A and B are shown apart, each in its own frame.
Chain A
Amino acid sequence: MKRRDFIQKSTAATVLAGVGALSLQSFSSSKTKKITILHTNDVHSHIDPFGPEDGRNANKGGVARRATLVESIRKENPNTLLLDAGDIFQGTPYFNYYGGELEFKLMSMLKYDVATIGNHDFDNGIDGLYNQIPHADFEFVSANYDFSNTVMNTHVKPYKIISKDSIKIGIFGLGIELDGLVGKDMYKETVYHNPIEKAQDMSRILKEEESCDLVICLSHLGYEYKNSPNKVSDISLARATKNIDLIIGGHTHTFLPKPTIEKNSLGKDVLVNQVGCFGLYLGKVDFYFEPGKKVASEGVSIVV
C-alpha cells in the first residue's frame, strides 16, 4: 500500500517537477475523500457493560462491544480516527485495583489515536497518570496544561497532526481549570492557561502554518454553563474562535443526540459534540472532501 503511494507520487513528481509536496498530494486523487472521526468521553473506567438490572443504563456500554463497532466502521472506511476527550479514569473498581492500566491497555488494543486529559485522570495524582503512560499506545494532547515542571513533561503535546488519504488533520487538546476541582497535591506543578487564548493560537498554527484540512479540538472544558456564562465551555469556545471544524467535548456528561452547530467568530459553522459518559455511545462525524478546485464552490452542507 505504502509502496503504491510512493510510485503514484513519484510519477506525479516527474510530470510536475518543481511543485511543492503539499500541492502534489492535492492532485493525488480526483475523487471524494471521507474522513471518519469516532469519539468517546468520560468513559470513567467503564470496561464491562451495565447489567440487565441497572436502573438507568441497562445492557448498555462495554469496551468489547465498542471494539467490534469501531472495527466494523474502520473496515468500511480505513480513513478513520478514534479519539477520547478525557476522564478515562475513575468510576469502577478496575481503576481502584489497577490504577488505569487496563483502561489504557484496552484503548491501545482498540487503536485509539489521540486523547486529552480530564480532571479525573489526576485522581491518583500526576504520578499515578505518569505510571500508566507505558500502557498507552496512543498520544495525549493538551494545549493549555503546561506540564514542563512535572513528570508528564514530554508525554503530552499541544497538538498532533495525522494525515489520512492525504487529508491533514490537526488535533489539539484543552483541559479544565484544575484549581478547586483537583487537589494541588494531585496536579502538582501543572500550569493551567486560558483555553480560549490557547485555542486561538492552536487553530492559527494548525490552519495557517501547518495547512491542516481539518482542525479538531479535544476538550474537557464542559459543554455549556448556562448559570455561569463567564466560565469557558465548548459553546463559548466555539463562538470565540475561528478555524476549528469540530469540538469534541467532555466533563459535563452531556448526552447530545446529535452534534450542535454553532457559529464561530467569523460566522462560520463549528460542530460541537459530546456523547454523555461511561462508553454508552460512540460519536461519529464524517467529513467529505472534494478534490481541490480553482473556484470556491458553495458552503459546506451539514447533515446531523
Chain B
Amino acid sequence: MLLIFSCASPKLSKIEGKRIVIDNDIKSDQAIEDYIKPYRLHVNKDMDSVISYAPETYTKTDGKLNTAIGNLMADAVYSEGNIIFNKRTQKNIDFVLLNHGGIRSIISKGNITTRTAFQVMPFENSIVVAALKGTQINLMMEYLSKAKRAHPISSQLQLTLDKNDAVSSATINGEPIDSNKIYYVATNDYLYDGGDGMTFFHPNEGLYSLDYKIRNILIDNFKKKDTINPKQDQRFIKLED
C-alpha cells in the first residue's frame, strides 16, 4: 500500500486548446478522395437529371399573400398527398397549409432538376393530415389574417381579408367554414408540432402520417409536368377598399 501511495498516477500539468481551420491550404488525402469519387458521380448524375422546365423564375417574395411558388408547393402537396390519403382512408384532403419560411430557395428559369427540389426543400419534413373541427379552422384563418404572410395554401381554400386585415370571407371548396364539421388538413410535421406559432392543429380529431416527404412530393409532381406553370391568383387576398 505504501508503495502505491508513494507512486501517484501521472499528473495533468498543462492543457493547450485551439481550433484549426480546414481550407484549401490543406491538401486532400488522395485515398479518401478516390473513395468518395464514385459516390459523388452517382449523386451528381441523379441530382442533375432534368425532370421539368420552369418558364420563369419564381421566388417566395413575388406576392404579398400568395405567390406562384407557394401555390405550386401547396397544390403539389394536395394532388400527390391526396392520392395516398384517399387510398388509405377513402377520404379526401380538404386543403393544404404550409409555411412561407419552408420555401428555402427560388426556382430559377430553365431546367428543373432533382437538385431544384433539394434546394427548395432541403429538410426531411413529411406530410401529415390532421382532422380538425371547423372551430380550429377558424383559429387558423385568424392566424393567417394576423400573420399577413404568404403562407402557402392550396386552391381549395379561399381566404379574403378586409382592408383592416380582418377575415372577410373564408371558404373551403366554395362552402363557408362549418364550425361542427371535420376538415382534413394536410400540412408538414413541423407545423403540426406547433412550428411558426401554428397552435391550431391541437386539439384535433385524429392524425394521419403519410410518410411522404415534401421533397419527394415535389420531385414526383415535377416529373408529371413537362413545363410547370404556377400562377399567383386570388386564393388569399386582401381587399384594398
Contact = CB atoms under 8 A, between A and B. Distances in A.
B14 A93 contact: no
B17 A300 contact: no
A287 B13 CA distance: 8
A284 interface: yes
Nearest to B115: A93
B13 A69 contact: no
Interface in B15-35: 15-24, 26-33, 35
A215 B35 CA distance: 34
A213 B12 CA distance: 8
Contact of A106 (B36, B42, B43): B36
A286 B13 CA distance: 11
A93 B47 contact: yes
B32 A63 contact: yes
Which secondary structure dominates where chain B touches chain A? mixed
A26 B10 contact: yes
A23 B1 CA distance: 10
B15 A285 contact: yes
A303 B26 contact: no
A303 B124 contact: no
B3 interface: yes
B11 A69 contact: no
B141 to A, nearest CB: 27
B17 A273 contact: yes
A1 interface: no
B22 to A, nearest CB: 5
A33 to B, nearest CB: 6
B239 interface: no
Given A19-B4, A286-B14, 5 more contacts: A48-B40, A71-B29, A109-B32, A167-B10, A287-B14
Query: 5 nearest interchain CB pairs?
Result: A64-B28, A67-B29, A259-B17, A292-B8, A289-B10
8 contacts: A49-B22, A63-B32, A64-B33, A68-B26, A91-B122, A94-B39, A271-B17, A283-B17
Interface of B: 3-4, 6-24, 26-33, 35-36, 39-40, 42-43, 46-47, 115, 118, 122, 124, 189, 193, 209
Interface of A: 16, 18-20, 22-23, 26-27, 32-33, 47-49, 59-69, 71, 90-91, 93-94, 96-98, 102, 105-106, 109-110, 123, 166-167, 180, 183, 185, 211, 213-214, 245, 256-259, 271, 273, 275, 279-294, 296-297, 300-304
